[in-house]
Chains A and B, each alone.
Chain A
């Protein structure tokens, strides 16, 4: 089972570090990261393995919101993307 974390907002130092630290604290393994910075706009998509995660997705979302301020963060199970974009 995997989930997707997306972080969007104004670029600043340490976003990736904070997100991956939060993931490691929850025992979620990072599988893939794609990030881009266009002018001041930061967008990151991270794929994580949640098989052995020590908390539920909503809890992880809450921790991320607390640790990474002023950014729009979505944490979604990968099934939603698979079902929407694949036949």
Chain B
């Protein structure tokens, strides 16, 4: 029998604590769309995505109404486009326009997969795609790009790191009149997961099936509220238990919605990504969870430890709730998308170096951070290299999504609006790493990659 207090708990989570399903993402393989003629290839891409995903948004809305749970985003991820460019040649921006057109026609919020996997080296298709990223992101609104530049197994491709520093800058420059939004749609990964449903890093890896449904849950507000209800004398083991139980409930909902979406669309269910993804809305902040645990403000000493505990407890709770967990699964710390982080960055408690330390224990990396417009490409490359090194050595995913705020300096603000939020331009250490970055080459895979 249903229990009245359970029902009211769920209703409160949805109504007052911003519980939602962050995204249903349909992954679609485009490997069978390769053609030596780029226009034919684009046409096949359009048709395949349209046929598979035409009912995605409607299905999402129907499930939303059946269960009374908001599903914020409906998205599509595709095979890294660099693979298609390798076969077809031509200007990769044509693919970006095709993706944009189909995204508009099926009504999804974002389409990810304008991507290249170059962790060990470039193929001609990869090179062409990477060089076209700034234009592709400037000329489209819904397309997201990502580049994987390192893995634990292969080491870090420092030539790619060097290139990506320039590409990030160029992407921001081309969209300088629109708050440099282009750079907010570009992620540089180490150990990129192939089944991530979250943007901007979503792609449908070459090892994935033809079509699959992945679900990303959310719920920082629910976790914060659960901790807030705990007595002050609870120790950290008890707090970790509360987080685990809450994560379990949130993930069960993701599992339910994912199974239902997969059954309705006739597509296999892939994974639930049990990430705590914040939004700029009040009460939906990961920073506020850390503050509820007992920090005066996110970014102070103790933040890394609190985040490590949070990240681990979220995974432990979520793993049992879902038959297949994947993607990034952990706590996100995107600065401009998190009300508590924005506040902490504004008053200088949260600095870039602390964020870097935090990325060693949470699920992603330096995410949605506005940096001064005058930051040289080499410094951006070095930020990417540091992050990739953390990911490579710790066998975890790390990523960099920094937005050079062209024409703005430290303390000024960027305003993206919507889920991408807003935030202050943060201080960057400008001491030059240029000589190291310009050396290029590859950082060899670490000792513990030799597991065979």
Please give the residue numbers on chain A whose beta carbons come within 8 Å of chain B beta carbons, in ascending order. Answer: 4, 6, 8, 34, 43, 45, 47, 57-58, 61, 72, 74-85
Contact = CB atoms under 8 A, between A and B. Distances in A.
21 contacts: A4-B2, A45-B8, A47-B2, A57-B65, A58-B62, A58-B65, A58-B66, A74-B14, A74-B68, A75-B68, A76-B10, A76-B67, A78-B2, A79-B256, A80-B10, A80-B67, A80-B256, A81-B7, A83-B252, A83-B255, A85-B6
Nearest to B65: A58
B253 interface: yes
Given A80-B10, A84-B6, 19 more contacts: A4-B2, A4-B7, A8-B11, A45-B7, A58-B62, A61-B65, A74-B11, A74-B14, A77-B66, A77-B68, A78-B2, A80-B253, A80-B256, A81-B6, A81-B10, A82-B2, A83-B256, A84-B10, A85-B9
Nearest to B15: A72
Contacts of B66: 57-58, 76-77
A65 to B, nearest CB: 12
Contacts of A34: 4
Given A4-B7, A47-B2, A79 B249 contact: no
B69 interface: yes
Contact of B7 (A6, A72, A77, A83): A6
Interface string B1-40: 0111011111100110000000000000000000000000
| Chain B binding surface, main DSSP class | helix
Given A61-B65, A74-B68, A76-B68, A43 B256 contact: no
Contacts of A83: 252-253, 255-256
Contacts of B252: 83-84
Contacts of A76: 10, 66-69
Nearest 3 Cβ contacts at the A-B interface: A76-B68, A58-B65, A85-B6
A57 B64 CA distance: 11
Interface in B284-299: none
A78 B256 CA distance: 12
A8 B66 CA distance: 19
Interface string B212-236: 0000000000000000000000000
Interface of B: 2-4, 6-11, 14-15, 62, 65-69, 249, 252-253, 255-256
A80 B260 CA distance: 11
Contact of A85 (B3, B62, B69): B3
Q: Which of A61, A83, A84 has the most CB of B within 10 A?
A: A84
A81 B12 CA distance: 13
Contacts of B11: 6, 8, 74
Nearest to A73: B68
A77 to B, nearest CB: 5
Contacts of B62: 58
B181 to A, nearest CB: 34
A77 B253 CA distance: 12
Nearest to B68: A76
A58 B66 CA distance: 7
Nearest to A74: B68
A11 B6 CA distance: 22
A84 B249 contact: yes
A46 B66 CA distance: 16
B67 A79 contact: yes
A77 B257 CA distance: 12
Contacts of A61: 65, 68
**Among B2, B3, B6: residue with most chain A CB under 10 A:** B2
B69 A80 contact: yes
Contacts of B249: 84-85
A64 to B, nearest CB: 12
A72 B69 CA distance: 14
Contacts of A78: 2
A58 B64 CA distance: 9
Contacts of A74: 11, 14-15, 68
Nearest to B12: A8
A79 B8 CA distance: 15
Nearest to A72: B15
B2 A81 contact: yes
A85 B7 CA distance: 9
A41 B253 CA distance: 29
Contact of A84 (B65, B68, B253): B253
Contacts of B6: 81, 84-85
A79 B255 CA distance: 11
A10 to B, nearest CB: 16
A66 B7 CA distance: 23
A6 B62 CA distance: 19
A72 B8 CA distance: 13
Nearest to A57: B66
Contacts of A8: 11
B241 to A, nearest CB: 16
